């Protein structure tokens, strides 16, 4: 089921999400709704808080045509993001992070805004899948960016907080105007 996306500056985006302790049907329904919602908006990743649920769950679906893409968060067509390619991460923890890389990012909670953000180039992450099985994943490309972006949501952070003071100021001004003019 497609759910409503929480849009910046909604205060819920500042919540620190809680650990998942039961890997039950409720969690599976949440993950399925997250996929439907992400797809409906042509997104590539989504954290549970973006549909208003403050638990440590996120999904990422790297489009097949864009595995080495230049922008994270750009819109994608339906057929290159099959459901079975969805990475579902519950209670993720970064266990290794090194290097730095700049990548252009976007976010379904801040639609239409794309900015360069610097993050670790390589990350190794431990997490649980929807069945509560512990998994490890490692990446030094698009997926590494996606994981770090979505994990920030679990800590109540959005990518524009990483912008320089001046860029952030410019963004806030433009965003306020967008809201005022009802262009969201
Ligand atoms: Co986001």
Give pLDDT tens digits for 102-155: 999 999 999 999 999 999 999 999 999 999 999 999 999 999 999 999 999 999
pLDDT at 182 over 60: yes
**Alpha-carbon distance values, 90 to 55, 131, 155, 182, 183 (Å):** 9, 10, 14, 35, 34
Domain span holding position 169: 11-180
Q: What is the CATH number of the domain that holds 174?
A: 3.90.45.10
Question: In terms of DSSP H, where are the helices of 4-114?
Answer: 25-40
Q: Containing H/E element for 119?
A: strand 115-119
53 occurs within a structural domain = yes
3 occurs within a structural domain = no
Per-residue confidence band for 75, with pLDDT thresholds at 50, 70 and 90? low
26 occurs within a structural domain = yes
Residues with CB under 5 A from ligand 1 (ion): 107
DSSP line for 68-86: T-SEET----GGGS-GGG-
150 assigned to active site = yes
130 occurs within a structural domain = yes
One of 88, 105, 115, 150 is an active-site residue; which one?
Answer: 150
40 occurs within a structural domain = yes
Tally of structural domains, the chain: 1
4 occurs within a structural domain = no
């Amino acid at each position: 089921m497609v759910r409503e996306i929480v849009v910046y500056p909604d205060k819920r985006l500042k919540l620190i999400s809680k650990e998942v302790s039961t890997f039950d049907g409720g969690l599976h329904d949440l993950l399925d709704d997250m996929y439907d919602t992400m797809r409906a908006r042509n997104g590539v990743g989504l954290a549970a808080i973006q549909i208003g649920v403050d638990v440590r769950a996120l999904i990422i679906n790297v489009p097949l045509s864009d595995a080495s893409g230049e922008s994270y968060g750009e819109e994608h067509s339906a057929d290159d993001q099959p459901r079975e390619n969805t990475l579902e991460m519950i209670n993720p923890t970064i266990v290794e992070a090194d290097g730095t890389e700049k990548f252009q990012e976007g976010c379904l909670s801040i639609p239409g805004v794309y900015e360069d953000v610097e993050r670790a180039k390589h990350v190794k992450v431990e997490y649980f899948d929807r069945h509560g099985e512990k998994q490890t994943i490692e990446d030094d490309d698009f997926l590494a960016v996606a994981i770090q972006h979505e994990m920030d949501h679990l800590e109540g952070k959005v990518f524009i907080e990483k912008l320089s003071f001046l860029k952030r100021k410019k963004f806030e001004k433009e965003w306020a105007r967008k809201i005022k003019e009802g262009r969201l």
